[in-house]
Amino acid sequence: MLASTNFAGLPAAPALQRLAQALAVLDAINSPDWEYRYFSYNPAWGEHEALLEMRDGEGDQLLILFRPEGCVINGFSHEIAPLPDKAQLTRGLPAAFHDFMFGEPVSSLGTTCCLWHTPALGWQTGTIADSDDGSADLLEMFDNDPATYAAWATEYYTDETDRKPITSAAVAPVYRHEVLTKAHVLALVDEAPDWSLLAADLQEIGYPYAFG
């Protein structure tokens, strides 16, 4: 498990952004209905900004903003009460991330953990308490290991269904950012999706595909 004070399993910002796209693609394949997806990615969140959103449907949420300066992660775990002092969590936060962390939607969402990455200094946090901040569960998926997503998605998307398990071998090409083909998709799901709908999702995510 990762914690906000242990960044050993988190890739640097550029690799994390590629992973963010991959997770959004995998969820678009596994869940054609956006409402039920865990991960979504917007490559045009703002000028020179991209955003990953992770939501579990039970109140926990993670937002990752990517900018040329690096990235910042805002995590909210609904089980953490009272909320920690945000001024302490963001102590030392680079100015490039202030508008995001102190504006919307982060202000309304809340913050139980915050960490950021810059090329010069790597991963950093502000001042955090010794108590659990919910980051271990929120950051677990971002170890860049296809097996981690495969195990989670098999439980999340195939439990109590007739769908085949999702394997790390099927996930790996997407983690490598290979051009997505129909064969890649059908290695992940049993039935052919609406290819035009999936293509539209991939265009929004900014991920290459070839469904010819």
How confident is the model at residue 7, as a pLDDT? 57
Cis peptide before 119 (omega within 30 of 0): no
Per-residue pLDDT of the chain (212 residues), as tens digits, is 344 445 557 899 999 999 999 999 999 999 988 888 999 999 999 899 999 999 987 778 999 999 999 999 999 987 777 778 889 999 999 999 999 999 999 999 999 989 999 999 999 988 876 566 777 778 889 999 999 999 999 999 988 788 899 999 999 999 999 999 999 999 999 999 999 999 999 999 999 999 97
Sign of dihedral through CA atoms 115, 97, 38, 24? Answer: negative
Q: Does the predicted model carry a pTM greater than 0.85?
A: yes
Dist CA 114 CA 174 (whole Å)? 27
How confident is the model at residue 42, as a pLDDT? 96
What is the DSSP secondary-structure string of 48-94?
TEEEEEEE-SSS-EEEEEEETTEEEEEEE-TT--SPP-HHHHTTT--
